[in-house]
Structure 1
Amino acid sequence: MKIVDLSRELYHRTPSYPGHPPIIHGMWKNHEEALAESGNVYGLSSMFISMADHGGTHIDAPRHFGPRGISIDQYPLEKCIVPGICLDLRHIAPRAEISPADLQTAVKQSGVGVPKGGTVLLCTGHHERTFPRRAYSTDNPGVNVAATEWLASQGIVHFGIDSMRPGPDSDVNLLVHKACLDLDITHIESLCNLEALLGKGQFTFIGLPMKWREGTASPIRAVAVFDM
């Protein structure tokens, strides 16, 4: 078994979506402070985290798209461990729309079909090109509504992308979110290291969310698992 980590590292003030709270990670109590308080042989250190539920690599809950969508604590875990493929879309220009034709060509070139009940990960090269510069939060290409509809028509449960949003930074992105609600799929944002999956065929994707009550999303540890 080989596991490929597809998750962004979380650290203090990791780049976060514009308008969302920053990711804050700091020391709550170090070993010396804990030892002085407890008088034990070992002081137990601990840290604290404050972040939006859309921080880092995360999966959007349907609740994010509209009030009739389910929250992340209700999202079926069966949809979090699924077969997946990765498509090479690195030739798509920054800020451009990914069309159904782009996806169809990429699937053909991959030599692997879209798995029913699975996921499709879109490697645009955006994370590798721009992270952690300011362009990471603005210059991504992304799917348009027609491409989102095409993905849903293939029987997937979600798709993922190596940027902060599924669509380009425009009204198209909002429309893609709303289309996901209507199509009963969702998406995963801020993936990384997708280049490691290209040309490797089908894998098992795992991305389990935390059980946030009424949450609109959750950070996940996204991985691709290959049988060896």
Structure 2
Amino acid sequence: MRIVDLSRELYHRTPSYPGHPPIIHGMWKNHAEALADSRNVYGLASMFISMPDHGGTHIDAPRHFGPSGIPINEYPLEKCIVPGICLDLRHIAPRAEITPSDLAAAVKAAGRPIPNGGTVLLCTGHHARTFPRKEYATDNSGVNVAATEWLAKQGIVHFGIDSMRPGPDSDENLLVHKACLDLDITHIESLCNLEALLGQGQFTFIGLPMKWRDGTASPIRAVAVFGLQQS
């Protein structure tokens, strides 16, 4: 079994989506302070974290798209462990829209069909090109509404991308979110290391969310697992 980590590292003030709260991570009590308080032989250090539910690598809950969508604590866990493939879209220009024909060509080049009931990860190269520079927050390519509809017709439960948003930085991105609600799919944002999946065939994608009550999203530890048999 081989595991490929697809998750961004979380650290103090790691890049967050524009307009969202920052990720704050700091020391609550170091070993010396804990030792002075508890007289434990070593002292038990601890840290604290404050972050938006859309921080880092995360999955959007349908509730994010509209009030009729389910929150993250009700999202089916069966959809969080699914077969997947990764498509190479690194040739798409920054800020450009990814179209259905782009996706169809990428599937053909991959030589593997999109698994029904699974996921498809879109390697645009955006994270590798721009993170953590300011362009990471603005210059991504992304699917348009027609491409989102095309993906849904393949029978996926969600798709993922290596940028902060599924669509380009325009009104099209908002329409893609609405389309996900209408199509009963969702998406995963801020993936990384997707280049390691290209040409590797099908894998098992695992990305379990935290159980935030009424949450609109949740950070996940996203991984691709090769050699794991699914029933």
TM range (shorter): over 0.9
Q: Does 2:26 correspond to 1:26?
A: yes
Aligned counterpart, 1:92: 92
SS of match in other structure, 2:32: helix
For the residues of structure 2 that align with 1:36 and 1:182, how far apart are their CA atoms?
A: 56
SS of match in other structure, 1:156: coil
SS of match in other structure, 1:204: strand
1:106-144 CA deviation, whole Å, 9 max, x = no partner? 000000001000000000000000000000000000000
For the residues of structure 2 that align with 1:70 and 1:87, how far apart are their CA atoms?
A: 28
Q: How many correspondences in the alignment?
A: 228
Aligned counterpart, 2:198: 198
Aligned counterpart, 2:167: 167
Aligned counterpart, 2:123: 123
Q: How does 1:42-121 map to 2 (within 5 A)?
A: 42-121=42-121
For the residues of structure 1 that align with 2:222 and 2:41, how far apart are their CA atoms?
A: 38
Q: Return the letter of the residue paired with 1:18.
A: P
For the residues of structure 2 that align with 1:222 and 1:26, how far apart are their CA atoms?
A: 24
For the residues of structure 2 that align with 1:39 and 1:27, how far apart are their CA atoms?
A: 19
1:41 positional shift: 1.1
For the residues of structure 2 that align with 1:114 and 1:200, how far apart are their CA atoms?
A: 14
Q: How does 1:137-148 map to 2 (within 5 A)?
A: 137-148=137-148
Aligned counterpart, 1:182: 182
SS of match in other structure, 1:25: strand
Unaligned runs of 5+ in 2: none
SS of match in other structure, 1:150: helix
For the residues of structure 1 that align with 2:20 and 2:122, how far apart are their CA atoms?
A: 24
1:34-60 CA deviation, whole Å, 9 max, x = no partner? 000111212000000000000000000
For the residues of structure 2 that align with 1:125 and 1:134, how far apart are their CA atoms?
A: 16
Percent identical across equivalent pairs?
A: 86
SS of match in other structure, 1:101: helix
> Which one is further off, 37-46 or 193-202?
37-46
For the residues of structure 1 that align with 2:27 and 2:121, how far apart are their CA atoms?
A: 35
1:157-197 CA deviation, whole Å, 9 max, x = no partner? 00000000000000000000000000000000000000000
Q: Return the letter of the residue paired with 1:45.
A: A
For the residues of structure 2 that align with 1:89 and 1:29, how far apart are their CA atoms?
A: 45
For the residues of structure 2 that align with 1:19 and 1:84, how far apart are their CA atoms?
A: 31
For the residues of structure 2 that align with 1:48 and 1:95, how far apart are their CA atoms?
A: 36
SS of match in other structure, 1:213: coil
- Calculate the TM-score normalised by the size of structure 2: 0.98
SS of match in other structure, 1:84: strand
Q: Return the letter of the residue paired with 1:192.
A: C
SS of match in other structure, 1:159: strand
Aligned counterpart, 2:156: 156
